[in-house]
Structure formats: C-alpha cells, structure tokens
Amino acid sequence: MNALFLQLLEKRVRLESERPQALEAMAALFACCEPHAHVDLTLSIGDRADANGRLWFDVNPTPADAFAGMETEKPLAPLSLARTLCAWAARCTTATYVFHGAAMALEQRGLLVIGESGCGKTTLTLSLLQRGWSFYSDEVAALRLADASMVPFARRPVVRCDVWPHKVMGPFPDLPLEPAPLPHEQPAAPCDPVRLGAAPLQPETVPVCLVFPRFSAGEMLTVQKLDQGSALLAMMAASCSQPVFKVRGLDFVIDLVQRLPAYLLTYGHADEAAAELKHLVGDVAL
C-alpha cells in the first residue's frame, strides 16, 4: 500500500474499524493523497467481497461532529459523502485527475462516460456491465496523470430504484425479480458489479474514447463527433476538483481531448447505446 496513504491514514483519518481488506479498497481511492492533507473523519467501512474476491467499501454517515473541518450540518447520505470524499481526494492528489463520470473498459479499451447526474451514466453502466465490460466507476472517473491509466473507484455502482436492472434490461439470475423495498429516504442501493456481469479489471487500462451521454426515454440513437474545444469545456465542467487542481491538470485534459475521440451520444434505449459504444471503443486504433 502506498506509504503516503498509510501516513495519511494513520495520522489524519480515524477509522471506526480498521480492517486491512477495507483499507486496501480505500487505498485504491486515496493512493495518491499527500500527507499534509487534513481531514478528520470517522468512517464506517464494510468490506464485503464480491464473487471474484474484489473488495468494496460503503461509506456510511456518522454524527455531524465527526466531520470536523467539513461543512456539514447533518450527516451526509452515503452518496453525498462519497462525492465529498472524491472531491477531497481530488484536491489532495498530485497524481490523478478526477472527473464526474463513469469509467468502464472492454478488453483493456477504456471508456469514460462523462456528465452530470441524470444524463444516463448509470443506465449505460448497467447495460455495459451486463455485456461483460470491466467496471471502474459509475460516478467518479480517476486517471493517473503519469500515464492516463484508469484508477478503479472502490465503490459499488449505485442503482436507483426506478432503474433497477431487471426493469431496464431484463432479470438477472442472481438478483431477485422484485428488489427489496427500500426506505423512501434511500432511493438508491449499491449493487455488486460482478453479479451484474462485470469482467475482471485489467491493469494499465487507458481510456480510448470519451462519451458525453444524453438520455431521453424513447429517443432515437444519435452519435455526434465532438470537436476538441467542446470536449475540453465539457471535461473541465465535469472535473471534480478545486480551481487550483484544474490549473494543474489543464494540460492533461488538453492532451486527452487531443488524443481521444469524443462523442455526444443521445440515446433512448440503453441496449442500442451499449452496442454503439462497443463499436466506438472497438474502432479506435491502439
């Protein structure tokens, strides 16, 4: 595990339960944090492993006084806390660039699906996982600045009740036909990507394609190639970070949009979009 991360973990982050496996999962996210970054959190970490032995963590809210230095008046919902942690990690790191987006790969050809909440990232993610893509994230796409390789975000895809997989793509063998009822205040639930069909992660996978989705139910599929300027503006807008981080990473983002094709994907059916994405990613010459 990264030495800096250990230092950060021991000195800056107080864990409710120090489970080595969970810490490794956390390390996947915070591996590049600088030791001087200050945070005082109490985290409750679940270290349940999936069918392939891969570990995942769930970040649970704790009382407000545990979040010293963070602007929270009440305990954060898990998803909000995860985003807060991602933004914090992005501010701390000097080695990764973080976007608000999904990241997946097909046979080491990475795909970044970038956009705001509600644009269809999770719907696409679920559809691609069912087709055997590897899962890196459905919410936070992190790339190493050194080689642009994709960093897996050790949080399971969060699926909204209204887009529960069997409603979108048909029943899954390992999932109940009817999901367990969720409390009204918890409109989403984490799912094991392996059970959803995800393939194992491959090391040194780099993105070969950028996609900015727009979901509109029932709409016909259209794919529009984006110019580099439009892609750059969209990626800067989706960057989960502070301005100083964007300044530092601007050259990295410019290099990405110069090297990778970018598309605006409007879709109304996830299966059509998934088939198109397979073509887009497969057509890129490595």
Partner 1 sequence: MSVSLEKPLIRADLVFRELEGCFVVYDPVCDTTALLNVQAAAVLDYCDGANSAADIAAELAEVFAVPAASLVATVNAALADFAAKGWLQPLPAPPCS
Q: What is the DSSP string of 248-276?
A: HHHHHHHHHHHHS-EEEEEES-HHHHHHH
145 binds partner 1 (CB under 8 A): no
CB of 136 to partner 1, least distance (A): 25
Residue 64 CA, distance from chain mean position: 25
Binder among 18, 167, 247, 272 for partner 1 (CB under 8 A): 247
Stretch binding partner 1 (CB under 8 A), from 46-54, 183-191, 235-243, 268-276: 235-243
Binder among 92, 257, 265, 281 for partner 1 (CB under 8 A): 257
191-230: which residues touch partner 1 (CB under 8 A)? Answer: 227-229
256 binds partner 1 (CB under 8 A): no
232 binds partner 1 (CB under 8 A): yes
91 binds partner 1 (CB under 8 A): no
Residue 163 or 250: the one with the smaller Cβ distance to partner 1 is 250
243 binds partner 1 (CB under 8 A): yes
Strands (E), 25-133: 42-43, 96-106, 109-114
254 binds partner 1 (CB under 8 A): yes
CA separation for the pair 19, 100 (Å, rounded): 28
Are the C-beta atoms of residues 201 and 134 closer than 8 Å to each other? yes
Contacts of 278 (CB under 8 A, 6+ apart): 106, 131
Binder among 250, 261, 269, 275 for partner 1 (CB under 8 A): 250
Binder among 219, 251, 272, 283 for partner 1 (CB under 8 A): 251
237 binds partner 1 (CB under 8 A): yes
With 0-12 CB in 10 A as exposed, 13-18 as middle and 19+ as buried, what is 161? middle
Are the C-beta atoms of residues 235 and 256 closer than 8 Å to each other? yes
Contacts of 225 (CB under 8 A, 6+ apart): 261, 262, 263
Residue 267 identity (one-letter amino acid): Y
Which residues would be at the binding site for partner 1 (CB under 8 A)? 227-229, 232-233, 236-237, 243-244, 246-247, 250-251, 254, 257-258
